[in-house]
Amino acid sequence: MTDKNKILLNSVGGLALFTLGGYRIFTNNFEAMSILVAYIFFICGFIGFVFNVVKLSKTPRT
């Protein structure tokens, strides 16, 4: 697996965490998750997605 594929996979994971946390925060439909966990997912997913996109932009194009 190349570095570019790893970064893309990590950014998709960060986006999934961001989306799941945002869904729980902005709608109250996913009540099995506590609001603290939702905020942790939201913040960590956002940070992970942004840093992976920046890392992907700095990788050399092949």
With respect to residue 9, please indicate whether it lies within any of the assigned structural domains.
yes
With respect to residue 36, please indicate whether it lies within any of the assigned structural domains.
yes
pTM of the entire predicted model: 0.85
With respect to residue 44, please indicate whether it lies within any of the assigned structural domains.
yes
pLDDT digits (tens, 9 = 90+) for 25-45: 999 887 888 999 999 999 999
With respect to residue 62, please indicate whether it lies within any of the assigned structural domains.
no
The one-letter amino acid at 40: I
Residue 1 is predicted with a pLDDT of 84
With respect to residue 53, please indicate whether it lies within any of the assigned structural domains.
yes
- Looking at the structure of the chain, the number of domains it has is 1
Residue 37 lies in domain? 3-57
Is residue 60 pLDDT above 80, yes or no?
Answer: yes
Round the average pLDDT of the chain to a whole number and report it: 92
With respect to residue 48, please indicate whether it lies within any of the assigned structural domains.
yes
Residue 32 is predicted with a pLDDT of 84
